[in-house]
Structure formats: C-alpha cells, structure tokens
Amino acid sequence: MSALLEVKDVVTAYGKIEALKGVSLEVQQGSITCLLGPNGAGKTTLMMSTAGILRPRSGSIQFAGAEIAGAAPHAIVARGIALVPENRLVFPGMTVTENLRAGAYQRADKAEIEAHIERMFARFAPLKARATQLGGTLSGGEQQMLSVARALMSRPRLLLMDEPSLGLAPLIVDEIFRIIAELNKDGTTIFLVEQNAHMALKVANHFYLIEQGKVTFSGDPGSLAEDEVIRRAYLGSARA
Amino acid sequence: MFDFIQAVLDGILFGTIYSLIGIGFTLVFGVMHKINMAYAAASIGAAYIGLVSASAMKAASAWVVFGCSLVAGGVLGFLVYLICFHLIPLRNENATLMSTVGMLLLADELISHATTGAPQNYPATLEDVMFRFGEMSMRGDLVVVFGVSVVCTAALLLLLYRTRLGLATRAVAQQPIAAQLCGMRVAQVNTLTFVITGVLGGIAGALICSAVGSLSILLTGPLTVKGLIVTVIGGLGSVPGAIVAGLLVGGLENVFQHFRGVTERDMYVMLLLFAFLIFRPGGIFAKGQGRD
C-alpha cells in the first residue's frame, strides 16, 4: 500500500487561534483511516483544510503526489477528493435528484450522470422513494445518505467523511457504517472523522487520535485498548 | 366599476416591471445575502446608455434601444459587482451596503450630469395603440411591457431551474459550503448573478422609461423604493415571491390611486410594506411566522 493522502505539519488558524498546530498523518490507498478525538480537537478543521474550504497557514497536503494545500475547493474536487461535511449540508430547497446532480457538477457526461443517479438509488434505497422530495424534508438518516451519495457523484478517489453518525439513531448508524465498509470494498479510499469510536474502530484499518490540534496516537485497531481510545476520543488525555 | 377594474388591470400590467426589478434585488440577496442598493439606479443608467448608444447608431427604434439597454445592463451589473462587492471585504456587512448606496448616488449624479438634469425623450414601443374589449381598453405599450416582462421572467426561471448554471446558482444560495464541496465556484456564480440581474435591470429600466415616455433621474428613487418593497413583500431571496409581489404592488398602487388620488398613493404602498413587515416578515410565501 502507498499513501494516497499525506498531511505534513499542517497549521490552520482562525484568526490568532491555531486549531491545527502541526498535524501530520497519512491515508493509505484503499484503506479506511479514521481520525478520533474530542470536540474542538481540530477534526473538522483538518477535513475543511483538506477540501480547500479553509486555507492552511503552513504545512503541506499531498494527494496522489500533488500538492493541494491552499488550492481552491473546485480544483480539489477535480483531483478526486470529495467531502461529506459535518451536519450533512444537503441543499434543502432542491429535490433529492437535483442534490445528486449538483454532486456531479464538474462532470460533462450527461447520460452517464443519469445512470449514476439510478445506481445511487439502487444503493441507497430510501432515497429512491424520495427522489422528487426536497432535501430539507428528509429525515436525518436520509439526509446523511443523500450527502454521501452526492459526494460519490463526483466519482472521488478519496472520500472524506466528517462525523457521518452524528445525531443518528443506532440502527441508522449501523446502516451508515455498513455503507462505509461497502464503498471501501468497491475501491474508494475513506478518511473518516468520528466521535463514535466503537463503530469507527470496527471498520478502520488504521486510526489516529487528535487532541488539541495535534496527533497524539497512531496505530491499528487493537493497538490501544478500546476503552482507552474511547476515553481519549471523548475527553482527551489528562496530560494538561 | 369598470374604472376600478381598468385601474387594477393597468396596475398589474405595469406591475410586471416591479416584478423584474424585485427579481433583481431578490436574486442577489438569495445568492450573496447582500442588498444591492444600486440596482434600480444602474437599471436606469443602463436604459440611458441604451438610449445614447442607439441614437449614436442612428437607430431610434424602441427595440434597438431595448437591445442596447440590455447589453449595458449586463456590463453595469458586472461593474457594480466588481466595485461594490469584489473589491470590498465581504465580511463587513455594512461595507457592501454603504458601497452600493454610494454607487446609487454616483449613478444618479452621472445620469444627472450627462443629461444636464433634463428629462430625455424615450421612444415608445406601440405608440397610441389601444386594445379595446367593450368598456375596457389596454394601452398597447403596457401590453408590450407585460409581454416583455413575462418573457424575461420565464427565461430567468428556465435558466434557474433547467440549466447547470441555474443549479449552481441555487446551490450557492442555499448552502454555499456544500456548493463549493460539489466543485462550484462561488465567485463565478456571484459574478454571473450580477450580470444576469443587470441584464434584467437594463430591460426593466428601458421598459419603464418607454412606458413613462421619458428618462430622468426622478425615476431612480421611486424605483429603488418600489423594488425594495416588492423584495420584502415577496420574501427576501424568493423569485416566485418577487413575481407575485410585483403584480400585487402594481395592482394595489393603482387601486390606491383610484380611490385616494395620486398624491396619497405611495403613502398607502408604504403602509402595505409595514403591514407585511409586522404580520408577514418572511414575505408572501413564508409559512406563518413573525409575531410570537
């Protein structure tokens, strides 16, 4: 395996406050890599920096060998990275089908886009029944599926997922993680941010812990006792 | 009774212009969450440039003037975006409001200077044509106003709901972060929104001047006010709302004039605005909200 995404010493700040204080990590080609950590540790900031919504102040982000740190979001999508954002961010006033079409915005192959939408409906069955309904009227779980499907419409090589289980009922969470494993089996590399350490460790090949803007642990599931991971993922280590 | 129906009919025909201006305000608000106060003034400016460039081409037909105004409107829309939004830090809410108010006053001054303050004759489309239906009649040029406005509105709706650019426009308006994550360029969508609303404004400006028969800076103030009222009544950011609100304001305006005379007319239009702000602040199509 080789690294598809290489993050090195990335610093991202909101004004004077550094949310990422030199983060380095790697996502191997074909893997599910998971980033765990408490609220405010910088998980979403790293996702937003990788997708180009936030500009890192320094450091490098290499995707498939090319530097993408500081590139515009549309250029990063064009390279093959898609982010399923925290809180899903579906387009509330667009139908489910239009949301999917928006995900394929950069593609020109009209006929293939429509076929791709049909394949999404086959994979995410609840969405098919809601095809002409507005995104804002869907349930939380349906919105999460829509957000994942929308991201897939750009045919990404790397799928970033920011807390896909947030606020969902346990049964729906199981469903979302089943989908994550399935997507990975079909060849999509996945970089996942989670608070639900238990579920994330079940699917991940590798995981990192991030606390207060720094990576504090890197290992395979099993290399650290799960209760220790969960404690640190929710509360942070007691070093401070 | 026929007078009354006639007044409403004329008002609704003219109201389509208010709809066009309202769409311009509301579309920019929807996409950028900013008010472009210079919109109506730029529209009259475009109508003036259209008039001047048509006469420079020795083509005084109303339709050539319309065409030139349309192009001028697009160019002015781009300039307003560049000067008032692109070059000014968007994070400061008041900065762009002030820059567009400044642009409104500047446009006024420029038109005033160019015309030496005198009203300019503006060509009519269907002069002295009357369509009669029994007791009722319709001014030919108002029918043209109505027809052109409807065609423009339909074209805009097609653009918004049937094209890739329209999809991006709605996406940026609804959820700008997600739009960027889909690979859309917000700055590009913003620019095109200004050009497109500018084109609509150029057409609306020319229609108004043509219906009134002359162009003067006295039009910019009332048009700005009516445009904003239509935008608020329709619901900020709602294109269908702006269309309906334009017809409503146009129709009611003439009703007020019919019963209370031209001097009191706009007072009642203002009261209508406050009625909406208090009882339906989200506009016509918003779900019941507001007073709680």
Enter the ipTM: 0.94
Q: Which of A88, A89, A138 to mutate to test the interface with B (most CBs of B within 10 A)?
A: A89
The first and second tokens of residue B67, run together, are 């065409």
pLDDT in tens, A182-216: 999 999 999 999 988 889 999 999 999 999 999 99
Residue B136 in domain: yes
* B263 vs B132: which has the higher pLDDT: B263
Least confidently predicted of A43-52, B92-101, B229-238:
B92-101
Assess contact for A135 and A90: CB atoms under 8 A.
yes
Average pLDDT over all residues of chain B: 90
The verdict on a CB contact (< 8 Å) between B181 and A77 is yes
Cα-flanking dihedrals φ and ψ of residue A68, to 5°?
-125, 0
Residue B273 in domain: yes
Q: Is A53 in CB contact (< 8 Å) with chain B?
A: yes
At a CB cut-off of 8 Å and minimum separation 6, what does A97 contact? A117, A131, A132
Distance from CA of B179 to the nearest CA of A (A): 8
CA angle A33, A202, A65 (to 5 degrees): 10
Return the number of CB contacts < 8 Å for A and B: 66
The verdict on a CB contact (< 8 Å) between B179 and A154 is no
Q: Could you give the count of Cα atoms lying within 13 Å of B187 in the half-sphere of its Cβ?
A: 8
Q: Is residue A64 exposed (0-12), middle (13-18) or buried (19+ Cβ within 10 Å)?
A: middle
Report DSSP state, residue A95.
Answer: B
Q: What is the pLDDT of residue B274?
A: 93
- The 3-state DSSP class for residue B35 equals coil
Q: Which of A77, A78, A92 sits opposite B174 (nearest CB)?
A: A92
**Whether the predicted pLDDT of A76 surpasses 90:** yes
**Whether the predicted pLDDT of B117 surpasses 90:** no
Residue B194 in domain: yes
Per-residue pLDDT band for B292 (boundaries 50, 70, 90) equals very low
Residue B291 in domain: no
- Per the structure, the count of domains in chain B is 1
Q: Is A234 in CB contact (< 8 Å) with chain B?
A: no
**Whether the predicted pLDDT of A223 surpasses 50:** yes
Least confidently predicted of A121-125, A202-206, B260-264:
B260-264
**Whether the predicted pLDDT of A27 surpasses 90:** yes
Measured CA to CA, the distance from residue A148 to residue A172 in angstroms comes to 14
The first and second tokens of residue A230, run together, are 């969960």
pLDDT in tens, B83-103: 999 888 767 778 888 999 999
Q: What is the pLDDT of residue B131?
A: 81
Cα distance between the two ends of chain A = 36
Per-residue pLDDT band for A2 (boundaries 50, 70, 90) equals confident
Assess contact for A226 and A217: CB atoms under 8 A.
no
Measured CA to CA, the distance from residue A43 to residue B270 in angstroms comes to 50
The verdict on a CB contact (< 8 Å) between A83 and B181 is yes
Q: What is the pLDDT of residue B287?
A: 61
Least confidently predicted of A222-226, A231-235, B156-160:
A231-235
Residues of B with CB under 8 A from a CB of A: 164, 167-168, 170-171, 174-175, 177-185
Give the mean pLDDT of A34-44. 92
Q: Is A150 in CB contact (< 8 Å) with chain B?
A: yes
Q: Which domain holds residue B187?
A: 2-279
Q: What is the pLDDT of residue B291?
A: 45
Residue at token pair 């001014």: B139
Q: What is the pLDDT of residue B286?
A: 76
Q: What is the pLDDT of residue B166?
A: 95
pLDDT in tens, B7-35: 898 899 989 999 999 999 999 999 988 89
Q: What is the pLDDT of residue B290?
A: 43
- Strands B130-133 and A206-211 come out as unpaired
* B292 vs B140: which has the higher pLDDT: B140
Least confidently predicted of A195-204, B129-138, B160-169:
B129-138
Q: What is the pLDDT of residue A1?
A: 57
Residues from chain A contacting residue B175 (CB–CB below 8 Å) = 89-92
Residues from chain B contacting residue A93 (CB–CB below 8 Å) = 170, 174
Q: Which of A74, A85, A92 sits opposite B177 (nearest CB)?
A: A85
Q: Closest residue of B to A156, CA-based?
A: B182
* A240 vs B56: which has the higher pLDDT: B56
- Domain containing residue B52: CATH number: 1.10.3470
Measured CA to CA, the distance from residue B150 to residue B137 in angstroms comes to 20
pLDDT in tens, B196-208: 999 999 999 999 9
Give the mean pLDDT of B73-92. 90
Least confidently predicted of A48-57, B121-130, B140-149, B281-290:
B281-290
**Whether the predicted pLDDT of A240 surpasses 90:** no
Residue B289 in domain: no
* B168 vs A197: which has the higher pLDDT: B168
**Whether the predicted pLDDT of A238 surpasses 70:** no
What architecture (CATH level 2) is domain A3-92+154-235?
A: 3-Layer(aba) Sandwich (3.40)
Residue B253 in domain: yes
Residue B75 in domain: yes
Measured CA to CA, the distance from residue B234 to residue A98 in angstroms comes to 24
Q: What is the pLDDT of residue A222?
A: 84
* A196 vs A121: which has the higher pLDDT: A121
Q: What is the pLDDT of residue B277?
A: 92
Residue B54 in domain: yes
